[in-house]
Amino acid sequence: MDGHGGDYTSTMLSRKLIAFVALELDKVFKETGEYAQIARSQVSMSSSIWRSVFGGNPTRESHWLAAHALDGNPDIVKRALTKGFRGLDKEIITTPLELLKQYELNLASLPKSKTRDDNNSLSALAHSIWPSTLGNPKSAPFSTVSQSTAYESILPALSGSCALMVYVDSARRDLYVASTGDSRAVAGYWDERAGRWEVEPLSVDQTGRNLDEVKRIQREHPVEEAPYVIQRGRVLGGLEPTRAFGDARYKWDEGTQKRIAEAFLPQGRVRLPPRGLKTPPYVTAEPVVEWRWIPENMDGAMDGANHDNGSGAPSRELRFIIMASDGLWDLMTNEEAVSLVAGHLAGMRGSVRAADLQRMCFEHSKSTAPQAGQSMAGGHLSLYPPCNMASRQITFAEVCEHKTEESLWIVIDKKVYDVTKFLSQHPGGDEVLLTEACKDATEPFEDVGHSEDARETLKTFFIGDLADPENLPKTGRKASDMMGANPSGSPPLIVVVAIAAVAAYFIYNYYVKK
């Protein structure tokens, strides 16, 4: 949800939208309501085709019909998602109108002597129509509890919100994306054949900058309104998304907005209708719903190479989906967002230049292809399999440029770690780590015998793989050979610690035996 003009609409969506959609999908699964007739006609036609081709085997026929149920029809599911979205917005927009109707009916039933006031305002009659139960009505913003409740009920209509929903049918491997507004869903695919990541937008921003949306709105209104229904990329020059929940200013006519304000907003808390409002509604909550079939990963029985939807595209595996409001996409491209998530899944840490990250993600690199993760667990689809994307390649010369307290990199098992932030936290002091700069620290690290927790902590400092391990100094070669002499002239602290540990071991055994 991405609210605007207050959080009232987005709060309601967070509580109700999934329920509205689930209720509509349940009708599809159970083939009830309007879907019952669709199911009957589909079964009748399918049965006729089956019998004419394969004969009258009832068991095989029932299995075939089950595989072709309504929930397996993307058009039907898209229809249900759309109805769920529109149903909730209808409730949001019509609730104030129902309250207004009730108010005006009560108003009409009152004696004329009670309907006069100096301002000729509907709100002045609220106390006589809805008796107050408040202790001190004058100190409250509304005359009655009923009027206060009515005001709270219309707030979701006065503010607005975009919405983005992803529905995954893991049994059929169907992916649906329903979008109302300018939030966006972007998929990150790993292309095994090309050895690189691919980016695919799963939704389209619905704003006044989208020419398809501009043409749609112009078609829905008189020709004379075409020049100004979209101004400066905004609906009537005000609202940026062309589809949204709430935003009644763009859905009610001017007279209705005035009556609502007089009845429920006695202190004038409502904005005026937008200029140019003539033939509302100008904004709809109807989503644009996209469908995609998700092939199994490379290890599955069905892979992308055999199921490319006829496009001839290389086999690829869906690894993740980013869902975000326009706040993210105003600052970041689809490619930048996908590369960041891919790098995070790969365990990349530390500072990485954006250009390097983009290159590692999107340039062909078969030799650095990740191991395909198991994306089916117990028959259920997982959008987040393990990812071992190729890491940054760092030369030994680069490592040796980082050997001070300000920036310290070390090499362990041909992997490079930026341990600068850990210097002050190391139990043995920063000198222990500084002595391992510009050489292979694998043997000293293993000799200490670190715990699993320590090894997990080390992973958080990983920044890349050593590109030229053949240039590492031989094991046992002093750091001073590459870094210069030890400033203190004393033996490295790690050696002292090791000797002390050995001595403690022998002393302990001696006293135990005694």
CATH number, residue 405: 3.10.120.10
The C-alpha atoms of residue 22 and residue 70 are separated, in whole angstroms, by: 15
Per the structure, the complete domain to which residue 464 belongs is given by: 393-510
**Residue 266 in this model has a pLDDT that exceeds 70:** no
DSSP state of 60: H
% of the chain surpassing 90 pLDDT: 39
CA distances from 240 to 14, 147, 510 (A): 21, 32, 81
Closest CA to 369 of 168, 189, 140, 136: 189
Can you tell me which residue has the tokens 């329903």? 178
DSSP state of 450: -
Please report which confidence band the pLDDT of residue 116 belongs to, taking 50, 70 and 90 as the band edges. Answer: low
Q: What is the pLDDT, as a whole number, of residue 372? A: 40
What SS3 state is found at 169? strand
Q: Pick the more confident residue, 294 or 431.
A: 294
User: Across residues 358-384, what is the average pLDDT?
Assistant: 48
Domain-embedded: residue 261: no
User: Across residues 220-233, what is the average pLDDT?
Assistant: 95
User: Across residues 202-223, what is the average pLDDT?
Assistant: 96
The pair of structure tokens assigned to 169 is 């049918």
**Residue 359 in this model has a pLDDT that exceeds 90:** no
**Residue 149 in this model has a pLDDT that exceeds 80:** no
Q: Pick the more confident residue, 420 or 324.
A: 324
- Of 48-52, 236-240, 478-482, the least confident: 478-482
Q: At what angle do helices 145-158 and 254-264 cross, to 10 degrees?
A: 150
Q: Pick the more confident residue, 117 or 265.
A: 265
Domain-embedded: residue 463: yes
Domain-embedded: residue 280: no
Q: At what angle do helices 8-30 and 34-54 cross, to 10 degrees?
A: 40
Domain-embedded: residue 398: yes
Domain-embedded: residue 133: no
DSSP codes of every residue in 305-338: TT-STTS-PPPEEEEEEEEE-HHHHTT--HHHHH
Most confident of 23-27, 316-320, 471-475: 23-27
Q: Which helix (H) or strand (E) holds 189?
A: strand 184-191
CA distances from 185 to 10, 94, 163 (A): 18, 30, 11
Domain-embedded: residue 422: yes
Sequence-separated (6 or more) residues with CB below 8 Å from residue 137: 127, 143, 144
DSSP state of 256: H
Q: What is the pLDDT, as a whole number, of residue 383? A: 31
DSSP state of 350: S
Q: Which amino acid is at 452?
A: E
b/e sequence 447-462, b meaning 16+ C-beta within 10 Å: eeeeeeeeeeebeebb
Domain-embedded: residue 469: yes
Is-above-0.85 flag for pTM?
no
Q: What is the pLDDT, as a whole number, of residue 418? A: 87
On average, the pLDDT of the chain sits at 77
Sequence-separated (6 or more) residues with CB below 8 Å from residue 84: 17, 20, 21, 22, 23, 24, 25
**Residue 87 in this model has a pLDDT that exceeds 50:** yes
Q: Which amino acid is at 101?
A: K
Q: What is the pLDDT, as a whole number, of residue 105? A: 82
Q: At what angle do helices 34-54 and 58-67 cross, to 10 degrees?
A: 130
CA distances from 313 to 28, 309, 335, 368 (A): 33, 8, 19, 20
Other beta carbons within 10 Å of 488: 9
Whether the CA torsion 131, 134, 136, 140 is positive or negative: it is negative
What SS3 state is found at 165? strand
Sequence-separated (6 or more) residues with CB below 8 Å from residue 160: 3, 4, 5, 9, 239, 241, 244, 245, 246, 247
**Residue 292 in this model has a pLDDT that exceeds 50:** yes
Q: What is the pLDDT, as a whole number, of residue 429? A: 75
Domain-embedded: residue 345: no
Closest CA to 390 of 465, 338, 337: 465
Total domains present in the chain: 1
Sequence-separated (6 or more) residues with CB below 8 Å from residue 497: 428, 432
